Amino acid sequence: MGSSTKLLAAALLPALLMMMAFHAPTMAAASNSNLFRDYIGAIYNGVKFTDVPIDPKVRFDFILAFVIDYTTATEPPSPTNGQFNIFWQNTVLTSSAVASIKRSNPNVRVAVSLGGATVNDRPVFFNITSVDSWVRNAVTSLTAIVTEYNLDGIDIDYEQFQADPETFADCIGRLVTTLKSNGVIKLASIAPYDNADVQRHYQALWRKYGAVIDYINFQFYAYSATTTVAQYVNFFDNQIVNYPGGNILASFTTAPTTASVPINTSLTACQTLQSQGKLYGIFIWAADHSRSQGFKYDTQAQELLANAGTY
């Protein structure tokens, strides 16, 4: 390809991506699939990739939790304007461990989640100096981390914000678009939950950049512990409206809590969604907690998804 052609392609790419993003809400709703995703590494309890059972009949994504654009060199920890640092247990979940689990399981991909709720028990905020500087720093720092660990994608899990929804949308949308167009990542997901401020930010992102977001890891377990199967399915249908055309994943948590939707309620709801042709996948928070249960529920979720076949 000649240099003039490259310049023309570079000039046209942003416009084409914006057109794709603008048309994202008209995409057809997702159907049953066999995608299973498991967050790992946030609790620092030594859980390994190889501890987790992996069904060869599912598409399996590990999601490292977390990288955060904060530094602990200050007290309290302070934001670094897109310069991401590793906060997962990378002494256990090493780059060689990533390479090994992917080599021995061709159905496995590994992504990393950005943000999270806290760092050193202090709230993590999406906080920027400017859109351009945040995107520039984020592209540089994440490219280095993704390359070092041979990762396949990123997940967006900011839950508190010191920027308005449109600013958040522009920062995250430009980040994902750039990383994908540079060939750094193949996939991207977002992880909202049903909080008014959270939804405002993620729906703004979806409206503008939905075409570059592959999956929605919606935190359905954040609903009340009294949630019924019928209510869970209704909550899921609400998110189909909020994120039209999105590949929305059902979810549950294996953390020891009495404040979240019970696991068995979630799994039964997943069966109902699958019977309705709407279960694109399931994700779990988190493998760290599942280990004490012998990964019983991770296995059950994968068995359910394996019935969907390969898509």
Q: How far apart are CA 207 and CA 299, in angstroms?
A: 35
DSSP code for 59? E
- The encoded tokens of residue 237 equal 């249908």
Angle (deg, nearest 10), helices 131-149 and 165-181: 40
Q: How far apart are CA 65 and CA 42, in angstroms?
A: 5
Q: CA nearest 248: which of 219, 211, 222?
A: 219
- Asked if 303 is an active-site residue, the reply is no
Amino acid (one-letter) located at 65:
A
Active-site choice (75, 159, 166, 303): 159
What are the angstrom distances between the C-alpha of 309 and each of 166, 281, 296?
38, 12, 21
Residue 21 backbone class (left: φ over 0; alpha: ψ -120 to 50; beta: rest): alpha
- DSSP codes of every residue in 86-100: E-S-TTTS-HHHHHH
- The encoded tokens of residue 197 equal 């401020």
Q: How far apart are CA 311 and CA 298, in angstroms?
A: 20
Q: How far apart are CA 14 and CA 12, in angstroms?
A: 6
Helix (H, G, I), strand (E, B) or coil at 112: strand
Residues annotated catalytic, as ranges: 159
